[in-house]
Amino acid sequence: TMDHARRLAARPIASLVASKRLLNSPIAEAIGEARRMEDRAFASLLGGPANAEALRAFAEKRPPDFTGM
């Protein structure tokens, strides 16, 4: 639906790309490899601009603005 599309569009693109990569990885992947992929994706996003904006927004009690991220 359009509402769902708007919610996705408001999210940081790097996080969506990382999530999609994880979801598209072969189902038969070993659990350990899937976990390593998740760890790498998380580590690459932690401390990035979207993470910093999310923390600022939380501290300021406002919705995050991921525009352009």
pLDDT single digits (tens) 18-59 = 888 888 777 656 777 888 889 999 999 998 999 999 999 999
Predicted structure pTM score: 0.57
Is residue 23 included in any domain, yes or no? Answer: yes
Is residue 41 included in any domain, yes or no? Answer: yes
Counting the structural domains of the chain, the total is: 1
Domain hosting residue 41, numbered range = 2-59
65: confidence class by pLDDT, cuts 50, 70, 90: very high
On the question of pLDDT at 63 being above 90, the answer is yes
Is residue 31 included in any domain, yes or no? Answer: yes
**In this structure, how many other beta carbons lie within 10 angstroms of the beta carbon of residue 19?**
13
Is residue 68 included in any domain, yes or no? Answer: no
- Amino acid symbol at 31: I
Q: Contact at 8 Å (CB) between 13 and 67?
A: no
Is residue 29 included in any domain, yes or no? Answer: yes
Q: Which residue has the higher pLDDT, 4 or 58?
A: 58
Is residue 67 included in any domain, yes or no? Answer: no
Is residue 69 included in any domain, yes or no? Answer: no
